[in-house]
Chains A and B, each alone.
Chain A
Amino acid sequence: MSLQRQDHVVGDLTVAGHRRRGPGPPVVCVHGAGVSSRELLPLVEVLGERHDTWAIDLPGFGASGKPDRPLTLPALADVVAAWVEEAGLERPCLLGVSFGCQVVVDVAVRHPEAAAALVLAGPTVDPRGRSPWRLAGQWLRNAPGESPRMMPLNVADYRDAGLRMVLAAFGESIRDRVEDKLPLVTVPALVIRGARDRMVPQAWAEEVTRLLPYGRLAVMDGLPHMTPYRHPRRVAGTVAAFLSEVAV
């Protein structure tokens, strides 16, 4: 079974979704700043063998509709929560990647009924690195560890979104105080960090896990920031094991 494209209209915006309908409970993947579901499709392919797995494009990115002005982080979270309802999913697991983690945390805190569990893969932004320059430096240091095949996808994503949307997303990620919200997440949460992730220091990944009332940390040897793209099978295995344990 391969991927299906399924779009939904949330408010007046089309939200593009890619789905592989596995037998298990639903998982919805949310991408990082400026990019789209493109980088998450390999994970959807693999995780979709076991779970009803989705990857959506946030408004303004990928194949989704473009709002007049970039959405703030809470607005993006509201769209995700509304999309969950529109798609008819019952309390899925929300899997964020990078900035996507900040979005799904905001969903879990402000729409407690929307998600039954969270997976935070490479949660940004470390409060100690919260400046555009630090972030850019970390991004550059991380880049050599990423798969070279991801670069054209990123370029296509940035082209789709446009500079304004991309910069706005990075701005939102820096402004967001995710550490204040983590203690309010009431569902089980798995934090995934690539051991060679230069954007998410180990100490921050530990702090994220510590702040989550029901957090658990998985460190993946040898992987960079984008664990789901670099090693979708390992990430899918870890996520599936976590979900079977928390019985979502």
Chain B
Amino acid sequence: MKPGRVVASFDSATGMLRALSRFLHGRDVPLIGQGPAAAEPLAAALFGAANRLPRGLKERAYAASGWAEAVPLRQVGGIRSGALARWVTGHYPRRRSDVAFVGSANGALIHLCAALGAPWLPQTLLIPVRRHGAHPDEPREDLRRTREAGQALVTANPDLVLHQMHDANQDRLMIAGMSYFRVKWRRLPAAYRHHLEQTLAPGATLVVVDCELRWPVTQVGPRHLFQHGAPGGATREEYQDGGPRVADYLRRYGSPHRRWDYPAADGESPEAEWGFEPGLLPDLRELAARNGWRLARMSFAEPEHLSPVVADLYREWYRRRGLPADRLLAECFLLLEPWWTLRSGSVPYWMVFNTEPSRASLTGYLDGADPFEEIRLLLFSHGVESVGLATIDQWRETLARAGKVGVFTGVDTRAYPRDFAGLARAHRELARIRATVPMPLPMGWETAEKFLADRDELRWDTEEPTAADDRPGR
């Protein structure tokens, strides 16, 4: 199977990879990078019509779209990590940079990379795997049916750790016919190595993006973990023990269960989607030392901790350029638009998902920041009225914080959270904004590093290249 078919299209890491790589090629992201711009009006119209379908049909369409892009169970053992890595690096232009990033996926990071003109190589990818016969509310059964395939995958790929993830809250529709296999590189793949060596000159900086978020897991086998639940609207305790919100949610969805039956957790590990697996560090250190690069480690406790940092970095950058810096673009999950962020002179604030905690993170940022005249909100729709989903009225309250214009961008408020059209309309509506500013030259890395190193939300550790590794013409 082609690597592009193995990896999920509608995932954070791939969405971010597409957004950033398109930006570095000088392009924006129509149809979340999944189709030509020319198809956007038609897609927006078709998805808009699909938004009017009955709820049951729409839910089936979500589930079918997940199943359609998933890998058949028997082919999982044939997946090779080297090919996946080559597929990732193939997205990027071959270009020199003072800095490159490797590690956790993060929407704010994509804007940081865009500002710097730097690539980011994800440590984690999602491989959706077809699976039948397990009810979404039975994580234990999901594992039972896919365990063998998981073992085949890790056996064939000694450089990968498999974090099998089951979130019956937010991924309810998707996991009806598939399992989430998130794989993390614990050794640096050759394609990444080559790409970094082509990108970075001696003296350049390689930044490890280290999201420290951890989650309870079950050790299934060597390099094979099972994670029940995921960060979002429900708490860890709710995944573990259930609760009134979980019971109500399960009742609403007609589930025979009132809490989840899952394999008992026997430890903790980096969170499947966002967390950084430090097993990769020795290889990165060795590569940096051999090439005379500085190695920096940018650590933060949770994905959204980077969002206010990058938002403020952009704001300061606009102000230095004499621009108003009074527009905010709040983005959600994989709805990212680095190109239009810069062309519209917007400060980007990325949220992990469409949940109450993410909304709280955004409003917390607004509480502390100078007021914004304009706030635009992109909202990802995952099809489920899940525990902790922030409602349209709640989002409206947040938008009312804008001085002049506080608007949903590409959101069908009546269809949310079952709004297919958002995938086409987010970019379409954003691109219609009238007051635009020129695309800036890339931000200097020195300025950015100083800014990042000074922020309390991050821990910034650097390792300078040793003298022996510094020699010219290595």
**Any B CB within 8 A of the CB of A233:** no
- State how many angstroms separate the Cβ of A208 from the closest Cβ of chain B: 10
**Any B CB within 8 A of the CB of A221:** yes
B-facing mask of A205-236, CB < 8 A → 1, else 0? 01101101001110101100000000000000
**Within 8 Å CB of A154, what residues of B?**
none
**Any B CB within 8 A of the CB of A138:** no
Stretch at the interface among B136-144, B167-175, B405-413: B405-413
Q: Is the CB of B374 within 8 A of A219?
A: no
Q: Is the CB of B404 within 8 A of A210?
A: yes
**Any A CB within 8 A of the CB of B433:** yes
A209 to B403 CA separation, bound complex (whole angstroms): 10
Q: Is the CB of A203 within 8 A of B432?
A: yes
**Within 8 Å CB of A216, what residues of B?**
403-404
B-facing mask of A187-217, CB < 8 A → 1, else 0? 0000000000000011110110110100111
15 further A-B pairs in the complex, CB-CB below 8 A; given A207-B434, A216-B404, A222-B414: A202-B429, A202-B432, A203-B433, A206-B374, A206-B405, A206-B433, A209-B404, A209-B405, A210-B404, A210-B405, A210-B435, A215-B404, A217-B406, A221-B413, A221-B414
**Which B residue sits closest to A201, measured CB to CB?**
B432
Q: Which residues of B contact A (CB under 8 A)?
A: 373-374, 403-408, 413-414, 429, 432-435
**Within 8 Å CB of B406, what residues of A?**
217
> Can you name 6 A-B residue pairings with CB atoms under 8 Å?
A203-B432, A203-B433, A203-B434, A210-B373, A216-B403, A219-B408
- What count of chain A residues pass the 8 Å CB interface test? 15
Q: Is the CB of B405 within 8 A of A217?
A: yes
A215 to B404 CA separation, bound complex (whole angstroms): 6
Q: Is the CB of B407 within 8 A of A219?
A: yes
Q: Which residues of A contact B (CB under 8 A)?
A: 201-204, 206-207, 209-210, 212, 215-217, 219, 221-222
**Within 8 Å CB of B403, what residues of A?**
216
A206 to B399 CA separation, bound complex (whole angstroms): 14
**Within 8 Å CB of A209, what residues of B?**
404-405
Q: Is the CB of B374 within 8 A of A210?
A: yes
A63 to B433 CA separation, bound complex (whole angstroms): 41
**Which A residue sits closest to B399, measured CB to CB?**
A219
- State how many angstroms separate the Cβ of A103 from the closest Cβ of chain B: 23
A207 to B374 CA separation, bound complex (whole angstroms): 11
**Within 8 Å CB of A221, what residues of B?**
413-414
**Within 8 Å CB of A222, what residues of B?**
414
**Which B residue sits closest to A222, measured CB to CB?**
B414
A100 to B413 CA separation, bound complex (whole angstroms): 29
Q: A215-B404, A217-B405, A217-B406 are in contact. Are A206 and B414 (CB under 8 A)?
A: no
**Within 8 Å CB of A215, what residues of B?**
404
**Which A residue sits closest to B407, measured CB to CB?**
A219
**Which A residue sits closest to B432, measured CB to CB?**
A203
- State how many angstroms separate the Cβ of B253 from the closest Cβ of chain A: 26
Q: Which 9 A-B pairs have the closest CB atoms?
A: A203-B432, A217-B405, A207-B434, A209-B404, A203-B434, A206-B405, A215-B404, A209-B405, A221-B413
**Within 8 Å CB of A206, what residues of B?**
374, 405, 407, 433-434
**Within 8 Å CB of A202, what residues of B?**
407, 429, 432
**Which B residue sits closest to A207, measured CB to CB?**
B434
**Within 8 Å CB of B429, what residues of A?**
202
**Which B residue sits closest to A219, measured CB to CB?**
B407
A114 to B384 CA separation, bound complex (whole angstroms): 52
- State how many angstroms separate the Cβ of A74 from the closest Cβ of chain B: 26
**Which A residue sits closest to B413, measured CB to CB?**
A221
**Within 8 Å CB of B374, what residues of A?**
206, 210
**Within 8 Å CB of A212, what residues of B?**
404
Q: Is the CB of B432 within 8 A of A217?
A: no
A207 to B432 CA separation, bound complex (whole angstroms): 11
A221 to B434 CA separation, bound complex (whole angstroms): 22
**Within 8 Å CB of A207, what residues of B?**
434-435
- State how many angstroms separate the Cβ of B400 from the closest Cβ of chain A: 10
A201 to B407 CA separation, bound complex (whole angstroms): 13
A222 to B407 CA separation, bound complex (whole angstroms): 14
A146 to B374 CA separation, bound complex (whole angstroms): 29
A150 to B433 CA separation, bound complex (whole angstroms): 32
A209 to B406 CA separation, bound complex (whole angstroms): 11
A203 to B413 CA separation, bound complex (whole angstroms): 18
